Chain A
Amino acid sequence: MRLSELTQGTDAVVQDVENVSEPDPIARRLRDYGFVRGEPVRLVGRGPIGADPLLVQIGFTRFALRRAEAARVIVETVA
């Protein structure tokens, strides 16, 4: 599933970051931020209007990602 579809507070692990264009600077920056395979990730909160942007915990850091940005990240929930 995609990071943008994750329910709030669920622990997940990053599988991949997809490029939606070639090159995709947004996807590259996500990888610099630490969105790489095997990294634990969690959706911490949502913006007040239209539940956008998303507040995402990756590594020890929090990022605000818009839905389209978070949709590039493929995740798998941890049982």
Chain B
Amino acid sequence: MSEAVSSLRLALVGNPNCGKTALFNQLTGGRQKVANYAGVTVERKEGRFDGPSGRVFQLLDLPGAYSLEAASPDEVITRDVCLGHFPGETAPDVIVCVADATNLRLHLRFVLEVRRLGRPMVLALNMMDAARRRGIVIDVEKLEAAIGIPVIETVAVQRGGAAGLIERLDGSVPAVASFDADSDLHAQVRTLIADAVSMPRRTAEIDDALDRILLHPVFGLGLLAIIMFLIFQAVFSWAAPLMEGIEAGVGFVGDWVGSGLAPMPMLQSLVVDGIFAGVGGVLVFLPQILILFLFILALEESGYLPRAAFLLDRLMLKAGLTGRSFIPLLSSFACAIPGIMATRSIQDPRDRLTTILIAPLMTCSARLPVYALLIAAFIPNQNVAGIFNLQGIVLFTLYVAGIVSALAVAWVIKLVRSDKSEHALMMELPSYRIPHPRDIAIGLWERASIFLKRVGGIILSLTIILWFLSSFPGPPQGATDPAINYSFAGMLGGWLHVVFEPIGFNWQISIALVPGLAAREVAVSSLATVYALSGQEEGLQAIVASQWSMATALSLLAWYVFAPMCLSTLATVRRETNSWRQVWIMASYLFALAYLASFLTYQIASAMGAA
């Protein structure tokens, strides 16, 4: 460990919304590693950068906190790591405390609280560009003298905006003298601001103006509905050309590899029918997942998400939730796992549990493959009222069905629960910001790599297992049916078919649901594999359109609104709630709802002649 001699461990702390993550990205660029803290599921982000002297810095991005008197698991981590009490983490050599220069009344209090720890620290006065635009003048020398730690101005979203900070850290940072622990921090902050800060007005005019519109009782709610609707239209229409490109590319490479393997039919079948048909069928949804995350990240960065939570709080409260549930639930549209993990920002344990239990009802992007396949096969691609696409409207309806069921389930949980004591909201509405392309790009890259790792790991291995189950044992001499009917998968599908027949699923669907337990999107690749091994040469969409009834397609769509099968989600729930009971409750209620919804859909659709 030669680098340990000269490397310095830094920890980035600060209030939520101080621009800490942007500063982290500015300092480390792409050189960062995301994992979890030992034993808990709070995200741990670490990165590295070099100082001008060649010294290596290791930077840890701690969760945002309002106070070291921790009120949430995130704040406990921040406190314990700063103090050096967290098992498996060494205390940082220097604490870099970040404060938003436009929000010093709140943020300086936390700076002073961290200063009490008596550890070497510097203060990064971030968002100095926004402060200057608002005419805020900060006497940095005076501030530095008054609080006794180095103060450096930064602009995290500007190239070179942290150069001064890097230079200062490359020198030596003295420990601060410890201060009287009983002093009134609020009084000290007021004195500091009176002496060193001049501020023309307490709020930004642009925030006032935007809030008047975006939080307006009528326009605000209307705009929220329009934004959500546009996101879903975009997910479907923008992604189409990219998806066609990926599909064509995978098909071309598959054929090329397959022709090279022609002398070995077994291996050829595994590669072409198993790997390329399966993995390609999932990879094709990467554009949609990225577009969805692009919107979520942009809304998050802009400061709009807490506004949406504000608008919806009362509605969600009636259903037994909180406005804060909005952000985890919105993330669950991408994937329930980050959504469930994001519930850590909900301080009330009951609100948190309810949010976790309904998160899988938000239509995650892994369900998009199934929806996309069925909608493309059964719903005509035509315009409605000139501007809307019928397929987009059906997709939107499926999402709404998930949301409505989630609210209903939350409401039932509220009725069942006997504890009626107060739940808290208390949420900061940060200043509006223009999202920075670099921060969004880094966020998107993180999501894309998680998705691709899933494709490479779980999905690839399941596809291969399914190929094996579908190919062996081979058909007996003189068999007339397709070979897959005699295989393990055919038998398994036959048994499951008994359970699923009343809801209109054929045996191919029944088989595909089994690997779909591990990851929902695998169901599509499994269908592709099953049909490819049945000797059908057409694309999956053409097969489905010609062989399934409308009632079966609608029933499967209804099933996937609830889709009880995702082992990774259940594992996350186990980890986050530390309770098998919650896992069982979730799995059984989802299964019951899915079966009921599909049963009703199939029987009603059949009765109406959609056979």
Residues of A at under 8 Å CB distance from B? 25-26, 28-34, 36, 38-40, 44-50, 52-53, 55, 57, 59-66, 68-69
Q: A32-B69, A36-B186, A50-B314 are in contact. Are A64 and B106 (CB under 8 A)?
A: no
Residues of chain A contacted by B106 (CB below 8 angstroms): 33-34, 59-61
Residue from the list A38, A40, A57, A64 in contact with B425, Cβ < 8 A? A64
Q: Which residues of A contact B186 (CB under 8 A)?
A: 31, 34, 36, 39
Are A65 and B425 CB-contacts (below 8 A) given A32-B109, A47-B313, A60-B105?
yes
Residues from 314 to 330 in B contacting A, C-beta threshold 8 Å: 314-315, 317, 323
Distance A45 CA – B219 CA, assembled complex (angstroms): 14
- Smallest CB separation, A29 vs chain B (Å): 6
Known: A60-B105, A64-B309, A66-B425. A48 touches B323 (CB 8 A): no
B310 touches A29 (CB 8 A): no
How far does the alpha carbon of A26 sit from the alpha carbon of B106 in the complex, in Å? 17
Count: A-B pairs, CB below 8 Å? 110
Query: What's the nearest-Cβ distance from chain B to residue A25, in Å?
Result: 6
Using A46-B217, A60-B106 as known contacts, list a sample of 15 further A-B pairs with CB atoms less than 8 Å apart, ordered by residue number in A. Answer: A26-B422, A28-B69, A29-B67, A33-B66, A40-B202, A45-B211, A47-B311, A47-B314, A48-B221, A59-B202, A60-B203, A63-B426, A64-B309, A66-B426, A69-B425
Could you list 28 A-B pairs, sorted by A, with CB under 8 Å?
Answer: A28-B69, A29-B71, A29-B426, A32-B66, A33-B106, A34-B186, A38-B190, A39-B186, A45-B212, A46-B217, A47-B310, A47-B311, A47-B314, A48-B217, A48-B311, A49-B314, A49-B315, A53-B323, A55-B429, A60-B102, A61-B105, A63-B428, A63-B429, A64-B313, A64-B425, A64-B428, A64-B429, A65-B426
For B251, list chain A residues within 8 Å (CB).
Answer: none
Which residues on A sit within 8 Å (CB–CB) of B104?
A: 60
Which of A29, A55, A62 counts the most B-chain CB atoms under 10 A from its CB?
A62
Distance in angstroms between the alpha carbons of A52 and B388 in the assembled complex: 34
| Interface flags, B421-432, vs A, CB<8A=1, else 0 | 010111111000
A32 to B184, CA, bound (A): 11
- Give Cα A45–Cα B106 distance, bound, in whole angstroms: 20
Give min CB distance, B208 to chain A, whole Å. 8
B586, chain A: closest CB distance, angstroms: 28
Contacts of A68 in B (CB 8 A): 422
CA distance A70 to B434 in the complex (A): 31
Contact of A26 (CB < 8 Å), options: B211, B309, B317, B424: B424
Check if A33 sits within 8 Å of B69, measured CB to CB. Answer: no
Give B residues with C-beta under 8 Å from A.
Answer: 66-67, 69, 71, 102-106, 109, 186, 190, 199, 202-203, 207-208, 211-212, 215-218, 220-221, 306, 309-311, 313-315, 317, 323, 422, 424-429
Least distance between A57 CB and chain B CB atoms (Å) = 7
Q: Are B109 and A60 in contact, CB atoms less than 8 angstroms apart?
A: no
Question: CB-nearest residue of chain A relative to B311?
Answer: A48
Residues of B within 8 A of A47 (CB): 217, 310-311, 313-314
B52 to chain A, nearest CB (A): 34
Q: What's the least CB distance linking B259 to chain A, in Å? A: 62
Give the distance to chain B from A69, nearest Cβ to Cβ, in Å.
6
The complex places the Cα of A30 from the Cα of B186 at a distance, in Å, of 12
Closest Cβ–Cβ distance, residue B174 to chain A (whole Å): 28
User: Is B103 in contact with A61, judged by CB distance below 8 angstroms?
Assistant: yes
Residue contact A63 to B427, C-beta cutoff 8 Å: yes
Which chain A residues border B310 with CB–CB below 8 Å? Answer: 47, 53, 55, 64
Nearest A residue (CB) for B422: A68
Chain B CB within 10 Å, residue with most, of A36, A39, A40: A36
How many angstroms between the C-alpha atoms of A60 and B106 in the bound complex?
Answer: 7
Q: Is the CB of B66 within 8 A of A64?
A: no
Residue from B104, B309, B428 with most neighbouring chain A CB atoms (10 Å)? B428
What is the CA–CA distance of A68 and B103 in the complex, to the nearest angstrom?
26
**Which among B71, B102, B211, B429 has the greatest number of chain A C-beta atoms within 10 A?**
B429
Query: 7 tightest A-B contacts by CB?
Result: A59-B105, A48-B217, A49-B314, A62-B429, A32-B67, A64-B310, A64-B427
**Do B425 and A53 touch (CB < 8 A)?**
yes
Q: Which of B105, B220, B306, B311 contacts A34 (CB 8 A)?
A: B105
- Indicate if the CB atoms of B313 and A52 lie closer than 8 Å: yes
Q: Which residues of B contact A69 (CB under 8 A)?
A: 424-426
Q: With A and B bound together, what is the CA distance between A32 and B422 in angstroms?
A: 19
Chain B positions within 8 Å of A50 at CB level: 314
Kindly name the residue among B190, B314, B317, B323 whose own CB sees the greatest number of chain A CB atoms within 10 A: B314
Give the distance in Å from the alpha carbon of A21 to the alpha carbon of B69 in the complex. Answer: 18
Contact (Cβ within 8 A) A53 B313? yes
How many Å lie between the Cα of A30 and that of B109 in the bound state?
13
Give every chain A residue within 8 A of B315 (Cβ-Cβ): 49
Min C-beta distance of B424 to chain A, whole Å: 5
Q: Is the CB of B211 within 8 A of A44?
A: yes
In the assembly, what is the distance between CA of A32 and CA of B70, in Å?
Answer: 11
- Nearest B residue to A30 by beta-carbon distance? B426
